């Protein structure tokens, strides 16, 4: 149970990258007052939480309706997360979180809480894929009952969102203390962890497809 919680927390924390949100939030809210910045950050976190919750509850049902099997989604989702990890390792902008066009549009918007902070920076394709992959792995999992494991995933998601809120609220202090270099180093370490998690998702999907346990 503890190992499953750590796995869920590491997967969500690395794909969302709360520390990496700090400079983004700082740049997008630079012209706002402290009160307005706090409102935007809190609103973005709440919206992202609602989107994540919807996909956690209905994501599997949507894919079942489309005829997508768990092994296929594990392979595809793991591949997507691996691409995000590669971008983190090489310090490139990940199109799985925010495209260049979305970044240009974000700089022209007055309200950045919904776009791009909530979607896609926090609740992006990588985050939603991870949530669905984790939920799909709870069925017949020896770590514990499915209902309990889903609660564990919810706790990991909540902690990740809280970390995002704290990082965005303290964005100026974080960047001032560890600098851009520190943020890049942390991003690369998280990229290595995410690559391992993504590889495990793909191996699990392949094992399910081949019925080798």
Q: Give the pLDDT of residue 102.
A: 53
Q: Give the pLDDT of residue 152.
A: 95
Per-residue pLDDT of the chain (213 residues), as tens digits, is 889 999 999 999 988 889 878 877 887 787 788 899 899 999 999 999 999 999 899 888 887 888 877 788 778 878 887 887 887 788 666 555 555 555 555 455 557 888 878 987 898 777 888 898 899 888 778 878 888 999 999 999 999 999 999 999 998 787 778 777 777 787 788 778 778 878 887 888 888 788 765
- 63, 132 Cβ separation under 8 angstroms: yes
Alpha carbon of 16 to those of 68, 89, 118, 124, 143: distances in Å? 25, 14, 11, 8, 25
Q: Is 16 exposed, middle or buried (0-12, 13-18, 19+ CB in 10 A)?
A: buried
Tokens of 15: 């794909």
- 52, 161 Cβ separation under 8 angstroms: yes
- Determine the Cα–Cα distance for residues 117 and 168; give it in Å rounded to an integer: 10
Question: pTM for the complete prediction?
Answer: 0.74
Q: Give the pLDDT of residue 200.
A: 82
The per-residue DSSP string of 58-115 comes to HHHHHHHHTT--HHHHHHHHHHHHHHHHHHHHHTPPPTTT--HHHHHHHHT-S--III
């Amino acid at each position: 149970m503890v190992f499953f919680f750590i796995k869920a927390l590491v997967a969500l924390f690395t794909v969302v990258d709360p520390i990496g949100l700090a400079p983004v939030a700082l740049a997008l809210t630079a012209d706002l007052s402290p009160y307005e910045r706090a409102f935007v950050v809190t609103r973005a976190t709440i919206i992202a939480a609602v989107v994540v919750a919807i996909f956690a509850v209905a994501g599997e049902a949507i894919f079942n309706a489309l005829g997508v099997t768990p092994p296929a989604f594990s392979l595809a989702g793991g591949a997507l997360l691996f691409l995000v990890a590669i971008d983190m390792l090489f310090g490139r902008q990940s199109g799985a979180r925010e495209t260049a066009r979305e970044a240009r549009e974000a700089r022209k918007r007055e309200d950045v809480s919904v776009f791009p902070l909530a979607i896609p920076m926090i609740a992006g394709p990588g985050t939603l894929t991870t949530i669905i992959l984790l939920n799909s792995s709870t069925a017949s999992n020896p770590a514990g009952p499915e209902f309990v494991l889903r609660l564990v995933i919810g706790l990991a998601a909540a902690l990740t969102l809280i970390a995002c809120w704290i990082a965005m609220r303290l964005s100026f202090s974080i960047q001032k203390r560890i600098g851009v270099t520190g943020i890049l180093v942390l991003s690369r370490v998280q990229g290595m962890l995410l690559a391992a998690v993504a590889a495990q998702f793909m191996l699990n999907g392949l094992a399910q497809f081949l019925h080798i346990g």
